[in-house]
Structure 1
Amino acid sequence: MSWELLLWLLALCALLLLVVQLLRFLWADGDLTLLWAEWQGRRPEWELTDMVVWVTGASSGIGEELAYQLSKLGVSLVLSARRVHELERVKRRCLENSNLKEKDILVLPLDLTDIGSHEAATKAVLQEFGRIDILVNNGGVSQRSLCMDTSLDVYRKLIELNYLGTVSLTKRVLPYMIERKQGKIVTVNSLLGIIAAPLSSGYCASKHALRGFFNSLRTELATYPGIIVSNICPGPVQSNIVANSLTGEVTKTVGNGGHQSYKMATSRCVRLMLISMANDLKEVWISEHPILAAAYLWQYMPTWAWWITNKMGKKRIENFKSGVDADSSYFNILKRKRD
């Protein structure tokens, strides 16, 4: 075989690989590293069994679904949120749908903004199970309001809950992981921790802060390779996060989450989260297009990202002001085209 023919074959293989990657990306619902781990990586059923997992925000949405899927893996669960009756409901369903026993699930009410309670809560988990293998920082709240219509109290609440509450609980758990030289700190961030969107200035700020904090923490823990720090960044997921979002006043919420059909199924999002946890991925993006494509643009082509975000942002604000769901009207069009 001549060198010229060999070079042509290599070029053809490179082109074919590029086409395959492009096709994968067009139908992706997560970043390509995550999808590779789903295909070729370690399985949650192998890696996460027999662990003690503490999930905050476990009373609904991603946290609730995470509890259900983790319970089927045979882990010991700590379920935390403010609403005790909802946590008890989640616990009952976990017991019904898995082989776990009553002693395997601890319902631990927790208010992330009550920082003074975090030490006692951590000690309660250690007293019950003796260790914390995985802390899933999932508790938080979103926002739907224009900056000029939003009181400073709303921004303060978003930072205290989404950012400071998460940092505080992490700081309480971290010393025990350092002592054991192992553990996983998994934070459910958002793609709005990477990109930006109108109507969510305070939410974006809190999520950008979380990303910066945990990326910095990861570097500080470089001498502890057994401690994994992961940022999970979902896009739109079927949950009550929009309905529970803060508006211009801290005492008011949106109350109506709008249509959910254009959003990713919560079960799929959580499955990808478990894969990222099993494979110790540092940061993952979980979303369908166009949000996933927007994240790649913000990461690698920010000038184009600004232009597209401004165009889409105008429509988002128009929808919001007219009283319809800020996203669904044009995302549904894209969803139908894709289907």
Structure 2
Amino acid sequence: MKNKVVWITGASSGIGEALVYAYNNSGANLIISARNRDELFRVKGNCKNQINVHVLSLDLENTAALSDKARDAQKIFGHIDLLINSGGISQRSLALETELSVEQKIMNVNFWGTVALSKAVLPGMIAKGGGKIVCISSVMGKLGTPYRSGYAASKHALHGYFDSLRSEVFDQNIRITLVCPGYIKTNISLNAVTGDGKLHNQMDQNQENGLSAADCASQIVKAVELNKEEVYMGGKEVKGILFKRLFPLRFSKYIRKINMTDLKTKS
């Protein structure tokens, strides 16, 4: 990846931040994006080669502004070789207790923001002769559990959209990777929204004990290098994907028996 141009959203924390360090160490030219400029500059300050890191703040929920942001990004180094869509928000609330506006926010950030940004960079990639797009989905993109309805919907939508897009742009040398992490030790549960839009502000036990963001980032880098179409990473929770695929009724019964309170605070 030396001298390649990598644009990472959600770069101010978690998996996105870990990917910044991984690609910075490999010699890539980086554009790092999130809403919080101060946190982006903190991440830049932690990079070994800061001269190759450019901060470009954006809000994925503001989809109307993302085309302009993409143009700004492409002007920085002249093009984009790899776009990593890592920005997103999670959820901790029952469907019937979640306001529609909150569910729409989750979809706007996780799905529409990712779609808008990807479509904005694709023409430049195609004109250059190729490129790569990565979407950080989730195990929730392959199954659903209580307290995650809106979040799971947004991640499921990514798979439908980008699986279709992959087939459309493959002959133009565009490679798309969907990444499905399980429990990763990040602040995603702290920043998850509840039914009325307030922050959950609790660290989930399984998140606390999950795979480190650095190890997750390392696996993502390898998957992208190998042009993997879809990858899973984490602990035993990843086995739930195969469990649901092979034994859907048994999986459904298992999910229904989970203690709802435990799922809200521990998973």
> TM-score interval w.r.t. the shorter chain?
over 0.9
TM-score w.r.t. the length of structure 1 is 0.76
Query: Equivalences for 1:125-140 in 2 at 5 Å?
Result: 125-140=73-88
- The percentage of aligned residue pairs carrying the same residue is 36
User: Are 2:27 and 1:81 aligned?
Assistant: no
Quick one: distance in 2 between partners of 1:80 and 1:299? 35
2:66 maps to 118
Quick one: distance in 2 between partners of 1:53 and 1:320? 36
TM-score w.r.t. the length of structure 2 is 0.96
Quick one: distance in 2 between partners of 1:90 and 1:66? 11
1:294 maps to 240
Quick one: distance in 1 between partners of 2:246 and 2:174? 29
Instruction: Mark the structure with the bigger radius of gyration.
Output: 1
Instruction: State which of 6, 13, 16 in structure 2 corresponds to 1:63.
Output: 16
Instruction: State which of 254, 271, 274 in structure 1 corresponds to 2:218.
Output: 271
Query: Equivalences for 1:1-339 in 2 at 5 Å?
Result: 48-94=1-47, 98=48, 100-102=49-51, 104-224=52-172, 226-250=173-197, 252-259=198-205, 260-289=207-236, 291-311=237-257, 314-315=258-259, 317-319=260-262, 325-327=265-267
Cα pair 2:18 2:213 within 8 Å, conserved: yes
**CA offsets per residue over residues 134-184 of structure 1, 9 Å max, x none?**
000011100000111111111110111111111001110011111122100
> Per-residue deviation at 1:101?
4.3
> Per-residue deviation at 1:268?
1.0
Q: CA RMSD in A?
A: 1.3
Quick one: distance in 1 between partners of 2:155 and 2:263? 22
Q: Which amino acid aligns with 1:309?
A: I
Q: Which structure features the higher share of strand residues?
A: 2
Q: Which amino acid aligns with 1:274?
A: V
Q: Which amino acid aligns with 2:11?
A: A
Structure 2: give runs of 5+ residues left out of the alignment.
none
Quick one: distance in 1 between partners of 2:208 and 2:119? 38
What's the secondary structure of 1:232's corresponding residue? strand
1:43 maps to none
Quick one: distance in 1 between partners of 2:25 and 2:266? 36
**CA offsets per residue over residues 2-50 of structure 1, 9 Å max, x none?**
xxxxxxxxxxxxxxxxxxxxxxxxxxxxxxxxxxxxxxxxxxxxxx222
Structure 1: give runs of 5+ residues left out of the alignment.
1-47, 328-339
- Going from structure 1 to structure 2, the CA distance change for 1:122 and 1:261 (only over 3 Å counts) comes to closer
> Per-residue deviation at 1:297?
1.4
What's the secondary structure of 1:221's corresponding residue? helix
> Per-residue deviation at 1:298?
1.9
Q: Which amino acid aligns with 1:318?
A: T
Q: Which amino acid aligns with 1:278?
A: E
